[in-house]
Amino acid sequence: MKAMRLAMAMIIPGTLALLAAQCDQKPGTAMCGRYYRNVVRLSRTGSQAIANVVAAPAAKQTVMDYCLDQPRFQIECGIDAASLSALQACETSEKKTIFDSLPDFESLEVEEPLLP
């Protein structure tokens, strides 16, 4: 059913372009606030000195400015990061496309052959 909806979305003109445009969006201030809170939370797992620096008002503005300039998918990754190394990995992650969520066709079970 999911594959069928995807196929229908690709048939409707402009739908795929809309999906691609949504992937390139920048995060808003609310999302960057969540990102900053996660950065502060993760910095507390390390040195107290680092945690104090990250929690300073000037650092908050720097993190917010950085966040607002990054692609939304990287910030979503950073919000979900559970460690500083995972947060760092988000900075170099590549954008996932809609095709990355499709199942591997070799692993699909087919009841009857597709070709005669």
| 64-116 tens-digit pLDDT | 999 999 999 999 999 999 998 999 999 887 776 656 555 665 665 656 666 66
Confidence class of residue 4 from pLDDT cuts 50, 70 and 90? very low
How does the average pLDDT of the chain come out, rounded?
A: 76
Long-range Cβ contact pairs of 12-21 (< 8 A, separation 24 or more): 16/98, 19/98, 20/97
Q: Domain spans of the chain?
A: 27-91
Model confidence, pTM = 0.62
Type and span of the H or E element at 65: helix 57-69
Cα(103)–Cα(2) distance, integer angstroms: 10
Q: How far is CA 30 from CA 4, 55, 75, in A?
A: 34, 17, 11
The SS3 call for residue 25 is coil
